[in-house]
Chains A and B, each alone.
Chain A
């Protein structure tokens, strides 16, 4: 059923300011890298057409502002995301520590149907730089504790692992969408009926 319809995958990139979210996206889409830092304001997206498992998909990648002062705008784009990419800087331990907050915030605001199985991908960026602040082992341990999140060590500057990481992101996003489609197709009526009560209930429990 899904093969006829145009598939749009919505991916959200999150992480502290300066970890390289915009650089990773630009490297993946335009194959360019700039050493100059320019803070992202609010959020914006770019799209890329690609083939995943023999299916043509359009990936819509939402790049976000890491800096608090540029976050005054809302995050309505979280809703309906198919995959969330968390990014930290392997040379800056603080950016690793805030991953939990980013993940929690995302799950609360996006309120996906199954928060436990929602696909996240972790990227440790700037591996071209020394010294390392967060070891591979430590990052992998964190991923295991969060239901085996895939982990990639990347360098946006040297285009290291960027293509592979986004292929994985696209695949996970697609599987998430398929699952949702299956759910809809199996019990279309039931879900429609139970949705309002379910969503309001979960919101209440998250809030406090």
Chain B
């Protein structure tokens, strides 16, 4: 999904990314050396120094291009990294190696960084601050519980990026405009995130020469990368070339093509994929008439919301945990105007319409067939007095805006759009006001 473009850290590039888990296993021939190689994670500085020396000796002893040598070299690097961590811990009282510091949880720029265990994790991980690889086995590293931002312990102090969870919660919606670009000048030719100076693009032939000059005067030789979500420019450390579907392109153009985005935008779009942040009814209602599936989803969701009114107050449904069983609490039913990015994606693939149709049939079965209480709460057309029980979510009905009566559409039109109940209420009200005096006389008798 994303590519690594720079290797500024000392720790990256030591190992190939594709390691199989077998490579980590201690070769049987070296089993006897296990204790001397400081395999336990609590080893002290002194023990590590000893183990490093022992490891070096063993490397020289074993054969060229053997599994043992491969493993030993790898282990040697690991030990050196561990030694470095130990030394860092000396100067840094908050270092996670110092157990008493209680630094397992840190809050920086809205991130809730949690110290990660030294677990072997085959997935490669890169530091969101320095872009270097995080070597799970030996380096202390943190991950934000809210947005997934990951970084080395040593990088915590330098974090620039706000937590994506905080950013989106404060704003409450996505960027509405497609790639709202203002140009490099508006950014003073600096990276939108880390403020490193960005070079302007030069003609191809001059690029090498320009790069030489830039580095001579202290400019980075950074490549300029544009984020399609924010419309701003970033350096390669803040924009790894990852791509994502852009909400604005989806809302306006129904365009599902992933575009290159900065790391910050990528994290934001990733954590909000399932959040109902898009009020399509407000932002672009014409889309419903253009995309058939979307219109279908809208109609089913409105129907489900009407059915929810019956089911949420139904005693029998509650006893049966009906709502819980069918996970009815989701925004899909409770707020039918809101969509998440995932919803729109699933609408396009046809997954969402079929899922909602299934749910609708389960609801309908409860209300119209299984549940006597819900059926009792239906309506009867007061114009034709037919025995058919009508519900507010049926297609062939109209609902009186004044008294909420539910009538057959056909009957209502036949009656010149007059509601019989409203008429009755009006006549009754008139009677009450005219008989008011006689009523008072009545009271006097008693």
Contacts and interface: CB of A to CB of B under 8 A. Distances in A.
Given A72-B404, A138-B446, A207-B415, A111 B377 contact: no
A34 interface: no
A188 B181 CA distance: 80
| Most chain A CB neighbours (cut-off 10 Å) among B310, B382, B415 | B382
Contacts of A208: 420, 423
B384 A76 contact: no
Contact of B377 (A77, A199, A204, A206): A77
Interface string B105-137: 000000000000000000000000000000000
A83 B443 CA distance: 30
A199 B385 contact: yes
A199 B385 CA distance: 6
Interface in A186-208: 199-200, 202-204, 206-208
B378 A74 contact: yes
Contact of A45 (B313, B373, B379, B446): B373
Contact of B375 (A76, A111, A137): A76
A109 B389 CA distance: 12
A88 interface: no
A208 B387 CA distance: 20
A62 B380 contact: no
Given A41-B313, A138-B446, A208-B420, A74 B382 contact: no
Contact of A109 (B382, B391, B415): B382
A45 B376 contact: yes
A182 interface: no
Contacts of B40: none
Nearest to A100: B428
B420 A43 contact: no
Given A104-B424, A138-B446, A42 B377 contact: yes
A111 B385 contact: yes
B396 to A, nearest CB: 15
A76 B377 CA distance: 6
| Most chain A CB neighbours (cut-off 10 Å) among B377, B385, B391, B406 | B385
A199 B375 contact: no
Given A79-B387, A200-B384, A203-B383, A73 B423 contact: no
Given A76-B380, A79-B387, A199-B385, A42 B424 contact: no
Interface in A48-78: 62, 71-78
B424 A108 contact: yes
Interface string A99-114: 0010011001101000
Interface residues of B, number: 33
A181 interface: no
A74 B424 contact: no
A202 to B, nearest CB: 6
Interface in B1-60: none
A135 B446 contact: yes
Contact of A101 (B310, B389, B428): B428
A158 interface: no
A97 B438 CA distance: 13
B406 A74 contact: yes
Contact of B380 (A74, A104, A200, A202): A74
A199 B380 contact: no
A154 to B, nearest CB: 20
Interface string A150-178: 00000000000000000000000000000
B63 interface: no
A135 B442 CA distance: 12
A109 B380 contact: yes
A74 B377 contact: yes
Contacts of B245: none
B383 A74 contact: no
B315 interface: yes
A62 B315 CA distance: 13
A110 to B, nearest CB: 9
B315 A44 contact: yes
A42 B392 CA distance: 14
B349 interface: no
B281 interface: no
Interface of B: 309-310, 313, 315, 372-373, 375-380, 382-387, 389-391, 404, 406, 415, 420, 423-424, 428, 432, 439, 442-443, 446
User: 9 closest Cβ contacts across the A-B interface?
Assistant: A203-B385, A77-B376, A74-B379, A207-B420, A76-B378, A73-B377, A76-B389, A72-B404, A74-B378
